Amino acid sequence: MLVLLLLSVCMVHTAVAMPVYVNNTGGDHGTTVYVPINVSNAPGQVGAMDISLTYNSSVLTALGVVNGSLTAGVLVMDENTLTKPYPDNWTDAHFTDEADNQTVWNCGALANDTTATDGVVNISIVSRYGFNGTGPVAVVRFEVIGSRDDTSPLTLSTVSAYNLSAPYNNSGYIPDTVNITDGYDPIYNTTEDGTFTVTGDGELPQNGDIDDDGDVDLFDAIHLAKYATGAGSDKFRTIHADGDIDSDGDVDLFDAIHLAKYATGAGSDKFRTIYP
């Protein structure tokens, strides 16, 4: 009977396990790439997650983390959202903008640490109403510093998740007064790691054909805008031409706007040329 009971528990865990995974991916030396951390069939509702992603710091440099589609409403916490009166700790830290504080109350927050531990990105996610389904919960931005054919493991060394819809109570309650909730049940998960491969030497062509379809048009500008902001699907994590369209040293939305005006003939004379 005991063996049957243990088998039944294992079967239940297997049936409700939430896969957390990083796909194999790559990018050219000198470019910025976006690596999604995905979940599949997340049960309702995932209220919190802690994730550690380990990588090879001689191949990649972590720049920060942005929202995934499943956590689109939560606030990404960084040095622009909080003020630390004491630089070495978070004592008396407060929100720079009260609107950020309200966003956390309304939606939740995504906090990340990409500098304290070399080779590890630590991510904590809190979602007020929770999330479910399949998709990225966070997207890590990396600069590719390795040489062609170098590889880096993308290892989910720590993953924990908690079910907002399943609170547990170890402290009991005071009748007719308050029900004390100590926390939420953990969500059983499995992990699948990925590998990053450096695919080029950084010498991307300066032709504006960002999506590599043979034409320079608005689709290239849209692709570049999604690459610069981390929006859209995985195909927008890679560009096939130099994205610094205005040659100011950065790849950002201004480059996408410049390319859009170049492709359509709009704007002033400065938009008649790319890579000036």
pLDDT digits (tens, 9 = 90+) for 202-248: 577 899 999 888 899 999 999 999 999 988 877 787 888 889 999 99
**Token pair of 149 as six digits:** 């054919």
Q: pTM of the prediction? A: 0.65
pLDDT digits (tens, 9 = 90+) for 56-102: 998 999 998 999 999 988 888 877 787 877 766 667 777 888 888 88
Token pair 């956390």 is found at 104
How would you classify the pairing of strands 108-113 and 75-77? Answer: parallel
d(CA 246, CA 276): 7
Domains of the chain in start order, with CATH, are 17-200 (2.60.40.680), 218-272 (no CATH)
What are the distances in angstroms from CA 53 to CA 114, 152, 156, 204?
10, 12, 5, 28
